[in-house]
Structure 1
Amino acid sequence: MAPVPLLSFLVDSPSAHRDLASARDALDRGAMADAAGHLAGALTSAPTLPEIHELLSRLAATAGGGLDLFPAEPYEPVGHAVARAHLLAAAGRPEDGLPLLAQASGSHPDLDWAGVPWVSDPALGARVDPGLLARTIMRLCTAVGDPAPVETVSPLRHYLTVIRNAVAAHGEQAMLLGAGSALARRLGEVRLAVEWAGRGAKAQPSKLGEIWLGYAYRSAGRMPEALAALRRAVAYDPDDLSVYADVAATLADLDRLDEALRWTELALERDPDFDCVVHTAHRLRYRADGDVGHLVALADFVRDHPDDAHEHTDLEECCRETPWLGGMPAGAPLPAGRAPVNAEPSADAVRRLLRVATTNWAHPPAAYDRALGLVLVEPWELLALLAHPSVTEARQPTGLEVWACLGLLHHGSEEPWLDSSRRRLLLGLLDGGLDRVTQAALFALITYAWVDPEARADVAAVVAGRLSETASGPSARAVAELALAAPGLDRPTRELAAATIRVPAIPRQRGRIVWRRFTPKRGSNPR
């Protein structure tokens, strides 16, 4: 086994050195199984540390090459599998070891599992079967996301080297080039992604080849060419509705929103529950008219379809940086407000509130879910927290009042909404002028309307009444921002809220649709 250059290791830790010392001692004593366990542990925190690979070389020199110490097992620890990969490479079978490293990279993509000489050796590219490498890379793409997080890009680039070497050795293999394009795109190598996808589509024209090419063109900002490739993909398989969503997203990015919506409608006529199309359709409808009802409908769909084939971010992207949909609005803070309970909350209650509090959230249902841990704080303590110094003395928005009120939603959740104690408590907090407590209580009511359709008419009436009371007062804008986040408001009330904060009733979103919603869930086929 070739030694790993000292400069190649990126991760080091005291635990790795402790495991390394224990492994060396076990090897000197002939306790091979103990040595194997410690080496597997060291690899999990410092996978390219040269001293670890020196000891693996000692194992590789034993009878059987040390492979019997790391037998394949279901649900094996990652260090165990990585050690077997290196020993396979030492035994002259690097093509069998590479999928194990890729599996480790999929589980922990921020660690440099593949930063070893045998991975970058051109001989590996010549030995590995192109189909096997393509499948390995596709599984890796499924795991790392699109785009890959910035901290994972450098460790994953080693796999691009393997693909380059394999392409040089095997020529125009369409699946390998397409899978390579998908990985290059995730790592920000857009020119390489376009090149490989184009070569793959030319070598073997197919629906998947055109999809890979369309995605590569999108990443490069070449929208007309992306649209043309995706239309060709539809021609190959008119029944693949996910491509209709792709075409719609691309048309929207070209500001051809009416055409984009027609593509979603055409697909929904065939299957009204096809997840990619449903997400795209609701997003584009919201982009067209700004009605939050489209996002509420999307949240309902997500709740009712937990096993969708892909992970989508449409709801989060639409809510981001929108007052109350994605977090507390910016601006001068309101007065602290009163708490209805004059008592001292426990230190544990304060800790739990501080643990969940944040001024941002993905969308209202996510905020509701985040507050679940506050079910362990008694309702009277949540109310008392509204008068705690950490809340009342804050000069900038902290979100503490919001989370105390959201916590109330998780108490007595078995009670029918209209007769529930949680509704009664929150309505009680609305008394008086607008302050941070009444604002938080109103948002909690709106949040509950997002997660429980049966509460929507009631909450909409409360919000409409509050907006009418404050329409000409100094707190009108604060209430209007909340109203625009509320499900079920009638059109005149929404228009009043929009006019109150002096924004167009039909806002126009100009940003590109983020394609991460098409990131497959683990085990599905990536694109």
Structure 2
Amino acid sequence: MFSDDIDADLRRLADDPQFPHSDAARHAIRFRAEGDAADLVAIEDDPHPCQMTDVIFALAGQQRPWLNWVPMPTEAIANVANEVGRRRAQGEDIEITGLGLSAAEPPSAMTACRRVAGPVEVGVADFPRPDIRTPVRPVRYSVWRYDGENPVPSVPAPAPEAVRVLHEVAAEPWPSLLSGYLQAAPLGKLPLDDLLGMLSHLPEAPDTPRWRHLATTTPTYWYRLMQPWVCLGILHHAADEPWLVSTRREVLMDLAFGVEDWVSDAALFALVTVAFREPEQRHEVRALVRARLDAAMAAPRLVTIEESLARLMLVTPGCTADDRAAAAEAIARAEEDDAEGEEAAPEPPKKKRRWWRHRD
């Protein structure tokens, strides 16, 4: 039914007078052309939701950051780890015992580097304001603390069974964030401590052909991808609790506004998923994403997750013209940095075209 030309497939559906979801297909076409999140919302809010509208939503989001893939790590320390991984995969005997950073980078990036390169001692020359070690606002739930310059997990390591479930759930990227939510349900059966533990202890990638291949090119990408999967799992934790007073809401909001890290945008991604599924939560979620983006943009230093936050803002239900302008400014700033010589992020990985899991 579908070809490799997504846009042609959508045009065919939109022009088919017998197709009951032609309006949804037209919204998908507009989103791919113009990037207005309102068109994604219109697909999800189709008056007759079914398996096919899930497919159209997935088609609309193909090769779009956060809708279909997680932005690649851009930190200097992640770039070093990826280079080490590539060179080792090519047979080179390379060891790194120490690295120096001009300024601190997110704890997940530093931990991912050590997972790939080994027990590297990292020296940090500066912690410019706002200090990356300080939460954006006071929180109850956190997964990182600092021992001087060094980030360390603030929660226990996950049980082996939790890692097994993560490997089973997260072996592939999600076809769309909606189907990703459904696929993450087994993670929600794990204890909250295990879910939080996986966010900072960063279990190794599953031993599958995909991840064995990526280990030879961008080995840090698994650690970037697995955290949003875990946050989708948190959405299933204590699901009987009403959302506004739920543990899952509090945890994700605290993670989003804790210390600056990959976990921050992973948690916001899960909240954006809630906003698509539950219209009554859209106003709050939009405000949360914008507040976190504003905090990143206001920092008088490099915030490595700023562009990622901006990309997330652009696909958040309720995204306004002012939100889009702020996001565009952040993205332009990142592109300007790339033009001045910083290494651009790699292309998203290829994936199997598993379009959906049916909504519950």
Q: TM-score, normalised by structure 2?
A: 0.59
Alpha-carbon distance in 1 for matches of 2:254, 2:204: 19
The answer as to 2:239 corresponding to 1:413 is yes
Partner of 1:75: none
The amino acid that maps onto 1:488 is: G
The answer as to 2:285 corresponding to 1:450 is no
Deviation (angstroms), 1:489: 2.0
Q: 1:342 to 1:451 in 2, by over 3 A?
A: same
The amino acid that maps onto 1:278 is: D
The amino acid that maps onto 1:305 is: P
- Structure 2 residue corresponding to 1:477, chosen from 283, 307, 311: 307
Does the CA-based 8 Å contact 2:36-2:315 persist in structure 1?
A: no
The answer as to 2:276 corresponding to 1:276 is no
Match runs of 1:93-112 below 5 Å: none
- Structure 1 residue corresponding to 2:36, chosen from 291, 306, 319: 291
Aligned length: 242
Partner of 2:330: 500
Residue identity (%): 32
- Structure 1 residue corresponding to 2:66, chosen from 304, 308, 324: 324
The amino acid that maps onto 1:400 is: M
Partner of 1:351: 164
Return 5+ residue gaps in structure 1 as ranges: 1-144, 150-217, 220-244, 250-263, 504-515, 517-527
Deviation (angstroms), 1:275: 2.7
- Structure 2 residue corresponding to 1:339, chosen from 143, 155, 162: 143
Does the CA-based 8 Å contact 1:299-1:365 persist in structure 2?
A: no
Deviation (angstroms), 1:478: 2.1
Deviation (angstroms), 1:499: 2.6
What secondary structure, in the 3-state scheme, does the structure 2 residue paired with 1:275 have? coil
The amino acid that maps onto 2:143 is: A
Return 5+ residue gaps in structure 2 as ranges: 76-104, 109-141, 145-153, 206-217, 334-352, 354-360
Does the CA-based 8 Å contact 1:412-1:421 persist in structure 2?
A: yes
Partner of 2:319: 489
Deviation (angstroms), 1:327: 1.0
Alpha-carbon distance in 2 for matches of 1:455, 1:434: 24
Alpha-carbon distance in 2 for matches of 1:440, 1:287: 23
Deviation (angstroms), 1:300: 2.7
Runs of 4+ in 1 over 6 A off after TM superposition: none
Does the CA-based 8 Å contact 2:29-2:60 persist in structure 1?
A: no
- Structure 1 residue corresponding to 2:174, chosen from 350, 361, 374: 361
Deviation (angstroms), 1:369: 0.9
Deviation (angstroms), 1:287: 3.9
The amino acid that maps onto 2:63 is: E
Deviation (angstroms), 1:365: 0.5
Alpha-carbon distance in 1 for matches of 2:51, 2:61: 22
Structure number with greater CO (CA < 8 Å, separation at least 6) is: 2
Q: 1:441 to 1:275 in 2, by over 3 A?
A: same
Alpha-carbon distance in 2 for matches of 1:459, 1:471: 18
What secondary structure, in the 3-state scheme, does the structure 1 residue paired with 2:283 have? helix
Does the CA-based 8 Å contact 2:13-2:25 persist in structure 1?
A: no
Q: Which 10-residue stretch deviates more, 351-360 or 330-339?
A: 330-339
Alpha-carbon distance in 2 for matches of 1:422, 1:320: 28
Match runs of 1:148-159 below 5 Å: none
Deviation (angstroms), 1:280: 2.0
Partner of 1:508: none
Partner of 2:341: none
Higher helix share: 1
Deviation (angstroms), 1:247: 8.7
Deviation (angstroms), 1:439: 1.9
Alpha-carbon distance in 2 for matches of 1:492, 1:286: 18
Alpha-carbon distance in 2 for matches of 1:456, 1:498: 21
Does the CA-based 8 Å contact 2:166-2:230 persist in structure 1?
A: yes
1:165-185 CA-to-partner distances (Å, cap 9, x unmatched) read xxxxxxxxxxxxxxxxxxxxx
Deviation (angstroms), 1:285: 2.8
What secondary structure, in the 3-state scheme, does the structure 1 residue paired with 2:323 have? helix
Partner of 2:228: 402
Alpha-carbon distance in 1 for matches of 2:2, 2:232: 33
Q: 1:435 to 1:312 in 2, by over 3 A?
A: closer
Does the CA-based 8 Å contact 2:67-2:177 persist in structure 1?
A: yes
